[in-house]
A and B are shown apart, each in its own frame.
Chain A
Amino acid sequence: AQKITQTQPGMFVQEKEAVTLDCTYDTSDPSYGLFWYKQPSSGEMIFLIYQGSYDQQNATEGRYSLNFQKARKSANLVISASQLGDSAMYFCAMRSNNNAGNMLTFGGGTRLMVKP
Chain B
Amino acid sequence: EADIYQTPRYLVIGTGKKITLECSQTMGHDKMYWYQQDPGMELHLIHYSYGVNSTEKGDLSSESTVSRIRTEHFPLTLESARPSHTSQYLCASADGFGDSPLHFGNGTRLTVT
Interface of A toward B, CB cutoff 8 Å:
31, 33, 35, 37, 42-45, 47, 50, 52, 89, 91, 95, 97, 100-109, 111
Contact = CB atoms under 8 A, between A and B. Distances in A.
23 contacts: A33-B98, A35-B101, A35-B102, A42-B106, A43-B106, A45-B43, A45-B102, A47-B101, A50-B99, A52-B98, A91-B43, A95-B98, A100-B50, A101-B48, A101-B56, A102-B31, A102-B98, A103-B33, A104-B45, A105-B45, A106-B35, A106-B43, A111-B40
B42 A43 contact: no
Contacts of A52: 98-99
Given A44-B107, A91-B43, A109-B40, A97 B102 contact: no
Given A35-B101, A100-B50, A101-B48, A109 B42 contact: yes
Contacts of B103: 47
Nearest to B49: A101
Interface stretch (B61-69, B73-81, B88-96): B88-96
Contacts of B88: 43
Given A47-B101, A47-B103, A52-B98, 10 more contacts: A33-B98, A33-B99, A43-B88, A50-B99, A50-B101, A95-B98, A101-B48, A105-B59, A106-B42, A108-B41
B100 interface: yes
Interface residues of B, number: 30
Contacts of B59: 105
Given A43-B88, A43-B106, A91 B42 contact: yes
Interface string B27-65: 000010101000011111100101000001011000000
B109 interface: yes
B41 A109 contact: yes
From A89, A103, A104, A106, name the one whose CB has the most chain B CB atoms within 10 angstroms: A103
A26 to B, nearest CB: 15
Contact of B45 (A35, A45, A47, A103): A103
